[in-house]
Structures are given as structure tokens and as C-alpha cells.
Structure 1
Amino acid sequence: MRAELGPVGIVVRPRVAVAVLTLSALAFCGLVASVSIGTFHIPLGDVLGSLFGVGTGDADLIVRELRLPRALTALLVGLAFGLSGAVFQAVTRNPLAGPDLIGISAGASAGAVGVILLGGVTAAGAGSFGAVPFGALAGALLTAILIYTMAFRGGTITGYRFVLVGLAAHGALMAITRWMLARADIDQAASAMVWLTGSLNGRGYEHVRWVGLALLLLVPPTLAMARSYQLLQFDDDTALSLGMPLRRARIALLVLATCLAAVATAAAGPVAFVALGAPQIARRLAGTAGIPLVTSGLVGAAMLLAADLAARLAFSPTELPVGVVTGAVGAPYLMWLLARSNRAGKGG
């Protein structure tokens, strides 16, 4: 189905539209459930009243001040991870090219942990933000530059080489992070370890503002490059024949994806497998040959909200870090993806 607005034509695929609407509804339901369910249960009507600014009493206080910041952070972080994973997998044409697997999240982690240790953040201040986002962003960008430089050969870059270099960078950066933890005092190491697991505990409106502002700056240029994003999923010769500046478009999209992953990692830690799994789930839901960008972001948001809710309820009243849940679910998925890629001859 094609819609036209003046000189602009938009192709709307009904299945993609249905997937976007359904995932948006699921994300909203996950947000409401995350705010409603807890040690003190809040009725759905009171939750909706608080969300739309007409709530009263203790329920309004619990919703707006205690639970809503965490739920909004999960929503925005999941969206950022989903978009980042989609761009990495589309640009490299490899389903294994998630930022948490190829070293981008590890670079962000190393930068953030360095800031935590140098800044003297203790376990009591684990939820504070300060310079952590900037350390994560610097670490992720430097890692991306290193990976791209090492993987670039003969005027091009292949997904197989990109993933191999990324895996090597991931191992080296994790070793550096462990070395920093070994030299830290026990309070700083405890704070950093909680963050490294991937956790949404103690998240406040400062995290919502940071991630929200970053998404406002990063999502529009990412969506504006939708044509380049689509063409990069074909082979290089096809993209070049259609007049696309291949190297410039690839670098621009990789920078945007790196920044999205760094922002998400700075807010919640290196939550595993959301960026890896969301694009593949979105592609199957939308029924497209390529990876749908917006659908991937919505899948990531819904996944992280569901995982955080499960982390809170599985062993209540003890709350697990959300990274434990995503890791437990994602590890079997990764093994299945590796086996499927090898059977199909698409490991590279």
C-alpha cells in the first residue's frame, strides 16, 4: 500500500503496520504492569489516573515518584538497544553483530567503570549518574573506531571480519575491566559489579532525562538515513550502483548505533542479548527480508520491560538484576542462532 503526501511517497506494508501497533500496545501494557505490580499492588485505574496526571493519594506518590522512573528507563533503554542492534546487524549483514557481543557494550562498560572508580563512587552511590554517561560514550566510540579500522580491508568490510574483530575487542576490554575492578577498593568494586550485571534498580528521573534527551538527538538522524539503512542490507555493488556513498553512510550509521548502545549501557549497564535478539524477532514479526528499524526498537522496549518485571517477581521479595533474566533467556537463543547460521551457511 502506497501513501502520497505531495512529492513524498511512503510505502506502508500492512503486516509491518500491524506489528508496530501491536508492539506499541504491548510496550504500554508492560509499562502499566511494571508500575502496578509490586510489594504494594496498585489498581489499574489508579495507575492510569497517575500516568495521565489525575491521580491522588499514596498511590500517586508510589506510581510517579518510585516506580514510573524505573519503568520509563526500561522503556527508553530497550528502545535504544533495539535500534542499535538493528543498525549493527543491517550494516554488517550479520545476525551476530549485536553491540553486546562485538565489544561496543564492553567498551562502554570499561569507560563507565573507569569513571566510577576514578570518581570514587561507592555502593551507596551506585544509582548516581554524574560523568558515567560520558565515560561510557567515550569508551564505546573508541572501541567502534578500533573495530572498524581493524576490520576494514581492501576498501570494504565484511560482517564476518567485523564480528571476529569485535569478539577479540570484547575479550580484551573485559580483561581491562576486570583488572580495574581488581585494583579498586571493595565498595567501589561492589558498585561497579552491580552496574556491570545490568540493573534498573534505583533508576530515577535523571536517567529518564538523560536517555530521553539522547534519543531525541539520535533517533531522528537514524530514521532520516532509512534509505541508506535499507540499501546497506544488500551487497556493496548493488548499493553503489544505486548511487549511495557506501563508506560515508556506513560510518554515519555505525556512529549513531554506537552512541545509542553507549547511552543505553550508561543508563542500565550492559544488559545482555536485547540488542542481539530484538532485530531478529522484529524481522520475523514484520515478515520482511531485511531488518525493520522501528519494529526492532519497539521489540527491544517491550523485551526489557517484560524482563524487568520478571526480575522483580521471579524471586520476590528479592529483586534480580534485569541482566540476569535477559542473559538466561538470551544464551539459548544465541546458541540456536549460531547453529542456524552454520546450517544455512551464513556464519559469515
Structure 2
Amino acid sequence: MHRHALTMPDSRTLVANAVLLLLVAAAVIISLSMGTVQIALAEVIRALIGTTEDPMAAFVINELRLSRVVAGMLSGAALALAGCLMQTLARNRLATPGIIGIDNAATAFAVASVVGTGIAIAPSAMALVGAATATALAFGLAGANGTRGYRFIVAGLGIGAIAGAVTQVMLSQVAIDDANAAYPWTVGSLNARSGASVQVLALGLAASCLVMVAIVRALNTLQFSDPVAIALGTRLRRTRVVGLGLSVLLTGLAVSVCGPVGLVALLAPELARTVCRPGRIPLTAAALAGAAFMVIADLLGRTLFSPLEIPVGIITAIVGSPYLLWILLRPSTRSLT
């Protein structure tokens, strides 16, 4: 096998990435245009490039909506990449951060900070600690199998259930105002985003992408058996540790911005594998699909029943749950990658 066969993109993948990029751009423009105040698409573009003469449009776009859309794009891309990495390491399409409990643990730790349990660490930092803790526990309980096999998934499901129960207990023991402050962390919402958390997410996502570029060939070899991957020059242990670390980092940072937005990490990689050529890990396509999915879901949550807003986590759950059932019930006839 040629050395570059596992790294060079093919024409189908390039076309798929281009189409997904256009979808992201369209979703962003439409999301910036729609809301309580409707703004023409042309005016949105002029506001973004700084040539609009309408001060109201400039204020609504640049001050109110743009930061929310950027937060959605970044968190969606981060969750999708985390899911793609986790699925690759476990060689299982169901092994996403949400399903194995990382989201719930990150949420529990963040809520612990919000409701005042004596922990004086910022919710975003606590979310990252929770994600790392859940992964370490799942990895330890899986034993020799590591991230591979159903034992890792079952361990994660148990950890996620415990973390969810702990979150509900904490919310039931605090004043109603504190519980309301923590509510966005429990359902997933871009309405309670923190500017500092978004900046940290952007930096973490950029750094993670650089690392993934460096290990993409090794990740692609994980689709083969361990002996074949080793014969191709892959250092399996190092690749799995780095990949798992990136998945935890991206999940924790994303949850620190939007809370536990379910099933993005499952849907986006699945869509990416569908449109890209099999045989490679579709990291770019997954990130673009995740960004588009998050922006579109948030747009639907803001506009379907306006002025009532539905948190983005509820929208993704409604859309993604039937698809999850379809994956579970459908016989799989293709490889993970």
C-alpha cells in the first residue's frame, strides 16, 4: 500500500467537502437573516463585510446573532470530530461521547459549579474535568479491551446514567433561581454561551485540528486489524492515547459552550461517511456536517415557535433519536470508515 494512499483526499471526498462547506455557509447566512427581526440576505452579507448603511441590521447581525452562530459552528464541529475519533478508536459506530457518558459527566461537573456546591471553578473548566473523569473511568472499567468492544460502551452508559442522576439530585436540592441558572447545562443551549468559553473552544479546536493532521495517516490505519496497522508503521498505543485525549478535550470544550447537545457526534460522522469515499476517516466532512447540523438545529429552535425558543439540544434529540434507532435496527453492511 502506497504511503500517501491513506492521506491524500480523492475527488469524491473533495466534492463532498465542498458541498458541505456551501451548506455551512448557507446555514450561517440564513440563520443570521431569520429571527424576530427579519433581515434580507443581501443586507446580511453587507453587514458581515462592513458595507451596510443600516445601523439596525449591523447591530442585530454583528452584536446579537453572529456570536451565537459562531458558537454553534465551533461546538458542532468539535462534537462531530470528537464522535468521529471515538468511533474510530472503538471501531464502533455507537461509541460517541454522548452515548458513553462523557457529555453527562461534563454536564454534572458544570452544574456542580453553577449551583454552588462549594466548587469555585468556572463551569467551562469543570466540564472539561468531568469529560476527562468519565473517560478515565470508562477506560479503566473496560480493562484490557481499552476503547474497543462493547464493554467500553456499556461502562460509559453506566457512567452517563450515574452522572445524569447526580445532576438531577443537585438540581433538586437548590433554590429555584440556581436551578434555572443551571438549566441550559442540562438540555444543551446556545442561549447561555460564554464569550470566554467560545474563545477557548476556538483555540482548542484549532490546536486539535493541527494534531489530527499530524496523525491522520495513523488514524486511517485503525480501520485494519492491529497486526496490519502495526505492519503499516502505526504506533497503536500512542495513536489511541492521542485520539482519546483529543476526543475528551473537544467534548469538554464543546459542552462548556453549549451544554450536552445530544447526537451531533453520532449524526455528523455518519453523514460524512455516507458522502465520502470509504477507507478514510472523514474528519473534515464530519466537522463541516457537525457545524451545519448545529447551526440549522439552533435556527429551528429559535424560529419554529417564535417568540418561544426551544433549546438546540432538544431539537437535535428529536431529529437524531429516530436515526439512532434506524442505525440500531438496520443490518450494517459496510465498514465503519
What residue identity is the alignment partner of 1:11? M
- Give the aligned partner of residue 59 of structure 2: 61
Distance 1:47 1:208, change over 3 A: farther
- Give the aligned partner of residue 127 of structure 1: none
- From 161, 180, 190, the equivalent of 2:180 is 190
What residue identity is the alignment partner of 1:106? N
- Give the aligned partner of residue 39 of structure 1: 36
The reply on whether 1:258 has 2:241 as its aligned counterpart is no
The reply on whether 1:28 has 2:25 as its aligned counterpart is yes
* Whole-angstrom distance in 2 between the partners of 1:9 and 1:93: 17
Instruction: Answer yes or no: is the 8 Å Cα contact 1:151–1:165 preserved in 2.
Output: yes
Residue 118 of structure 1 and its aligned partner are, at CA, apart by 2.2
The number of residues matched between the two structures is 332
- From 89, 107, 110, the equivalent of 1:109 is 107
- From 189, 208, 223, the equivalent of 2:198 is 208
Instruction: Answer yes or no: is the 8 Å Cα contact 1:69–1:203 preserved in 2.
Output: no
Residue 189 of structure 1 and its aligned partner are, at CA, apart by 1.2
Unaligned runs of 5+ in 2: none
- Give the aligned partner of residue 133 of structure 1: 124
Partner SS for 1:75: helix
- Give the aligned partner of residue 68 of structure 2: 70
* Whole-angstrom distance in 1 between the partners of 2:144 and 2:7: 37
Residue 210 of structure 1 and its aligned partner are, at CA, apart by 2.6
> Normalising by structure 1, what TM-score?
0.89
- Which digits, 9 at most, give the CA deviation of each residue in 1:236-266, with x for residues without a partner? 2221222322122101110101110111111
- From 290, 296, 300, the equivalent of 1:300 is 290
- Give the aligned partner of residue 273 of structure 1: 263
Residue 169 of structure 1 and its aligned partner are, at CA, apart by 1.0
What residue identity is the alignment partner of 1:45? A
> Normalising by structure 2, what TM-score?
0.92
What residue identity is the alignment partner of 1:101? I
The reply on whether 1:147 has 2:115 as its aligned counterpart is no
Residue 92 of structure 1 and its aligned partner are, at CA, apart by 0.4
Unaligned runs of 5+ in 1: 122-129
- Give the aligned partner of residue 14 of structure 2: 17
- From 298, 302, 321, the equivalent of 1:312 is 302
What residue identity is the alignment partner of 2:131? A
Instruction: Answer yes or no: is the 8 Å Cα contact 1:70–1:204 preserved in 2.
Output: no
* Whole-angstrom distance in 2 between the partners of 1:345 and 1:223: 25
- Which digits, 9 at most, give the CA deviation of each residue in 1:183-236, with x for residues without a partner? 222111122123211111143643432321221222211222101211122222
- From 264, 286, 291, the equivalent of 2:276 is 286
Alpha-carbon RMSD across the aligned residues, in angstroms, is: 2.4
What residue identity is the alignment partner of 2:226? D
What residue identity is the alignment partner of 1:225? I
* Whole-angstrom distance in 2 between the partners of 1:64 and 1:28: 16
Instruction: Answer yes or no: is the 8 Å Cα contact 1:279–1:296 preserved in 2.
Output: yes
Partner SS for 1:229: helix
* Whole-angstrom distance in 1 between the partners of 2:106 and 2:58: 36
Instruction: Answer yes or no: is the 8 Å Cα contact 2:87–2:95 preserved in 1.
Output: yes
